[in-house]
Amino acid sequence: MAAENKAQMSAGDVREILETLAIQNAADTARQGSQHGSRVARLAVSSWQAEIIRHSPEIKTALTPTELRALMGDPAHHVIFLPQAAMVTAEIIERICAESSLNKMLIWETNG
């Protein structure tokens, strides 16, 4: 009987909690840019955080500088994921962030 009264978490609830934890973990290590207000967090390739964020429908992914620039200019999206396969470097990220009037949280999956 006691087990029947316990609240059950749905898969969606668990996924939402994991996404929140993954983003918070990334935010805790994020550094603000030197010439912009955006924050950039680096996540290890294939880390649990990167895997959760990669599959989140709430977080937009940029694979090219053009896609990153477009997302940086879109006020609807506050968090941007840059997977390891993204064709960006730290210099490109800094330049695009400096050009944008909006501040974002970028989560970059990288080896270094």
Strands annotated E in the chain: 31-32, 39-44, 60-61, 79-82, 105-110
| Domain contains 65 | yes
Q: What is the pLDDT of residues 47-83, one digit of tens each?
A: 999 999 999 998 999 999 999 999 999 999 999 999 9
Residue 54 lies in a domain: yes
Quick check: is 104 in a domain?
A: yes
Instruction: Kindly state the average pLDDT of the residues 26-48.
Output: 90
Residue 53 lies inside a defined structural domain of this protein: yes
CB of 98 closer than 8 Å to CB of 33: yes
Q: Is residue 79 part of a domain?
A: yes
The pLDDT, as a whole number, for residue 6 is 55
In this structure, is residue 86 part of a structural domain?
yes
**Residue 78 domain-assigned (yes or no):** yes
Q: How far apart are CA 50 and CA 43, in angstroms?
A: 6
Judge whether 17 lies within some domain. no
**What's the first-to-final CA gap in the chain, in angstroms?**
52
Domain that holds residue 89: 32-110
Give the chain's domain count.
1
**Cα of 60 vs its chain's centroid, Å:** 8
